[in-house]
Chains A and B, each alone.
Chain A
Amino acid sequence: MTQSASAPTFGANGLRNGPDARGRFGAYGGRFVAETLMPLVLELEGAYAAACADPAFRTELDYYLRDYVGRPSPLWYAERLTRALGGARVYFKRDELNHTGAHKVNNCMGQILLARRMHKTRIIAETGAGQHGVATATVCALFGLPCVIYMGAVDVERQNPNVFRMKLLGAEVRPVTSGAGTLKDAMNEALRDWVANVADTYYLIGTVAGPHPYPAMVRDFQKIIGEEARAQMLAATGRLPDVAIAAVGGGSNAMGLFHPFLDDAGVRLIGVEAAGRGLDTHEHAASISRGRPGVLHGNITYLLQDDEGQIEEAHSISAGLDYPGIGPEHAWLHDIGRVEYAAVTDSEALEAFQLCTRTEGIIPALEPAHALAQVAKIAPGMDHEATILMNLCGRGDKDIFTVAEHLGVKL
């Protein structure tokens, strides 16, 4: 680790104090939005700072996280999986047990309470796989707020059950046909909606990307994952894990897991990108492994782009990882060497999906199946006393159709 060399970026207080006043993590992040949106982004930053300073906000959020979301989520020692891999002990942080079945709701609950404090009366969001859309539609139903979800037309087709869930919850799902009709295009369209509805609308971004303050705010709402897991690991094993590992698309579940461990130099942190059909094909979503820095959706970060700076389409079997960028804090953590970024292919993720299902009786989402595939690569080479903490950030009910198709099973 090169932690000591990197510390000066945010002074002597370690790696957990970013971003700076410009919303930068090192060279990454910032606020690259049209002037029309800039005052709104600043308003949000002010409102979020005020909420953070108000103990009543935290009390309210804690109440909903406990009694509605079901936090804390358990830590599970995956004993049969550990035996099957034959090395380090593997622990799951079970955020798939949250209401709505993924970590996404942690952030949605925080932001919906903020939107209410700001007296916003209309919520918009983008979604890829539909998990963030479902979580947003859920909190909007809970608080009786109208909700518009932008979703790429291609994703609407391949994630039909989630589209129906969102509609049941009262959301309006608008299919986006511009571009390739996937997550990045949905985000463009949500930004266009926001710029046209500046007075009443709150844009509830689902990952640690977008203009400042979103990357920091979404991380703050997700870091409860790592805070709980850190205490649970200490309680269960008497020490911190040797490795913490999570899948990375935009990167919200990984930032949530990693952030409380950033200053624990002994904990190796690994983010797992989607290598799709392979890093050397053009069909992957590995922004860090194969991208380079640029500006998209309000921030500077690693992007999949061509030589002319045009954004390329991502590919992953997991719609939740199918995004050509990554949160700016990840970009910085990569550059300073604090977090390692690995990549796992569609077929490796599918194998891990089945391994988890059969050894632990847990059907994981395809996103954490990527993290698990990386666990399966490193655990056998580690000592039996060593521990790996993996964020099981979503359950796989939404993915059974995709998996069936890839296994050649007709449902």
Chain B
Amino acid sequence: MSRIAARFAALHAAGRGALIPFLEAWDPDPATSMALLRGMPGAGADLIEIGCAFTDPMADGPTIQAAGRRALAAGATLGHTLAMVREFRRDDDATPIILMGYLNPILSYGTDRFCTDAAASGVDGLIVVDLPSEEADMLVPQAGAHGIDVIRLVAPTTDAARLPKVLDGSSGFVYYVSITGITGTRSAGFDELAAAIPRVRRATDLPIAIGFGVRSPAQAADAVRAADAAVVASALIETLAASLDAQGRAAPDTVRRVLDQVRALAEGVRGARSAAR
């Protein structure tokens, strides 16, 4: 069983949802980013999403755009991101790691070589924003051959006729983009999610994560009440960005402040279903 499947099975047995915090690899520097990654499971992360910087992140709002710029300025590459995962795996063989990014750096690395190296480094899943199901054959077979899940995105615009096509051959979990918009802008309300998720649920047996616009512990709790996991990205990046000095360097408390926020989000997620009942 893959790390992703095992983790969701264990959480299901425990009767709770998952928190999936996000960090941008090498934002603002390799050591800070590595410390965040290492600290996240202890702070309550159930799975971790690592953003891979791209010069032209067309689905991202200003917060994650800025994170990408800081990472690129620090010299981030896909190879460095894989090295971070290898380092992380020396101490943690259970927490699933999902890389999130755009297709071109993967194509440039070489799709086959990338999937080989990612699997060897301990990557469990890939979210490639600009790879809709129509183009999935450029990555899914290669990833699948190495046991890596390519996580499919479902959006509010994905209608009933299209949904089965989007989910065809999907694995790992399904990522529900809760708003029509870019990351870090607005948030969907619980009623919207409660209406949208059952539609997806009927079309798949995979766990469903909700992302885009999940910011607070209360919103994370709503997400796991409506679905199986909450992805929080921009809100954490904002905390990191706010802690940086005028030159964009990490402060002594940068890591602590972000991990404190992860802790608060984890409490929200863990209390969600008991509070609801």
Q: Which of A31, A296, A307 contacts B56 (CB 8 A)?
A: A296
Give the contact-size bracket for chain B.
35 or more
Residues in B whose Cβ lies below 8 Å from that of A294: 104, 107-108
A305 touches B129 (CB 8 A): no
Q: Which of A35, A184, A297 contacts B158 (CB 8 A)?
A: A35
Question: Is A38 an interface position by the 8 A CB rule?
Answer: yes
Residues of B148-165 at the interface with A, using a CB-CB cut-off of 8 Å, are 152-159, 162
Bound-state CA distance A308–B71 (Å) is 13
A198 touches B130 (CB 8 A): no
Q: With A34-B153, A39-B158, A40-B157 in contact, do A309 and B134 touch (Cβ < 8 Å)?
A: no
Question: Is B58 an interface position by the 8 A CB rule?
Answer: yes
B155 touches A35 (CB 8 A): yes
Residues in B whose Cβ lies below 8 Å from that of A307: 108
Residues in B whose Cβ lies below 8 Å from that of A3: none
A22 touches B132 (CB 8 A): no
Residues of A19-44 at the interface with B, using a CB-CB cut-off of 8 Å, are 22, 30-40
A22 touches B108 (CB 8 A): no
CB distance from A176 to the nearest CB of B (A): 11
B108 touches A188 (CB 8 A): no
Residues in B whose Cβ lies below 8 Å from that of A38: 132-134, 155, 157-158, 162
Residues in A whose Cβ lies below 8 Å from that of B153: 34-36
A178 touches B65 (CB 8 A): yes
User: Which of B29-37, B86-94, B176-184, B200-208 sits within the interface?
Assistant: B176-184
B58 touches A39 (CB 8 A): no
Q: Which of A22, A31, A188 contacts B58 (CB 8 A)?
A: A188
B104 touches A309 (CB 8 A): yes
Residues in A whose Cβ lies below 8 Å from that of B107: 293-295, 309
Question: Is B190 an interface position by the 8 A CB rule?
Answer: no
Q: Which of A33, A191, A308 contacts B105 (CB 8 A)?
A: A308
- The closest CB in chain B to the CB of A185 belongs to B56
A196 touches B132 (CB 8 A): no
Question: Is A192 an interface position by the 8 A CB rule?
Answer: yes
Question: Is B191 an interface position by the 8 A CB rule?
Answer: no
Residues of A147-180 at the interface with B, using a CB-CB cut-off of 8 Å, are 178-179
Residues in A whose Cβ lies below 8 Å from that of B102: 295
Residues in B whose Cβ lies below 8 Å from that of A30: 134-135
Bound-state CA distance A341–B276 (Å) is 65
A198 touches B108 (CB 8 A): no
Bound-state CA distance A22–B133 (Å) is 12
Q: Which of B72, B130, B185 contacts A33 (CB 8 A)?
A: B130
Residues of A173-228 at the interface with B, using a CB-CB cut-off of 8 Å, are 178-179, 184-185, 188, 191-192, 195-198
Question: Is A298 an interface position by the 8 A CB rule?
Answer: yes
CB distance from A189 to the nearest CB of B (A): 9
Question: Is A2 an interface position by the 8 A CB rule?
Answer: no
CB distance from B196 to the nearest CB of A (A): 13
A195 touches B106 (CB 8 A): no
Q: Which of A40, A296, A310 contacts B72 (CB 8 A)?
A: A310
Bound-state CA distance A307–B78 (Å) is 11
Residues in B whose Cβ lies below 8 Å from that of A267: none
Residues in B whose Cβ lies below 8 Å from that of A32: 103, 130-132, 135
Bound-state CA distance A37–B131 (Å) is 11
Residues in B whose Cβ lies below 8 Å from that of A195: 59, 180-182
Residues in A whose Cβ lies below 8 Å from that of B104: 294-296, 303, 305, 309, 311
B56 touches A35 (CB 8 A): no
A309 touches B130 (CB 8 A): no
Residues of A309-331 at the interface with B, using a CB-CB cut-off of 8 Å, are 309-311
Residues in B whose Cβ lies below 8 Å from that of A309: 54, 78, 104-109
Bound-state CA distance A31–B133 (Å) is 10
Residues in A whose Cβ lies below 8 Å from that of B181: 36, 195-196
A35 touches B132 (CB 8 A): yes
CB distance from B185 to the nearest CB of A (A): 7
B130 touches A34 (CB 8 A): yes
Residues in A whose Cβ lies below 8 Å from that of B56: 179, 184-185, 188, 296-297, 311
- The closest CB in chain B to the CB of A193 belongs to B182
Q: With A39-B157, A196-B182, A309-B104 in contact, do A31 and B129 touch (Cβ < 8 Å)?
A: no
A33 touches B132 (CB 8 A): yes
- The closest CB in chain A to the CB of B60 belongs to A192
Question: Is B169 an interface position by the 8 A CB rule?
Answer: no
Residues in B whose Cβ lies below 8 Å from that of A196: 180-182, 185
- The closest CB in chain A to the CB of B166 belongs to A35
Residues in A whose Cβ lies below 8 Å from that of B129: 34
Residues in B whose Cβ lies below 8 Å from that of A198: 157, 180
Q: Which of A32, A40, A296 has the most CB of B within 10 A?
A: A32
Q: With A30-B135, A196-B182, A297-B58 in contact, do A35 and B177 touch (Cβ < 8 Å)?
A: yes
Residues in A whose Cβ lies below 8 Å from that of B57: 188
Bound-state CA distance A22–B102 (Å) is 20
Q: Mark A222-250, 1 if CB is under 8 A from B, else 0.
A: 00000000000000000000000000000
The 10 A-B pairs with the shortest beta carbon distances in the complex, nearest first, are A309-B108, A309-B105, A36-B155, A196-B181, A35-B153, A38-B132, A309-B104, A311-B55, A32-B130, A39-B157
Binding site for B on A (CB under 8 A): 22, 30-40, 178-179, 184-185, 188, 191-192, 195-198, 293-298, 303, 305, 307-311
A–B Cβ pairs within 8 angstroms, 7 of them: A22-B134, A30-B134, A34-B153, A34-B155, A38-B132, A38-B157, A198-B180
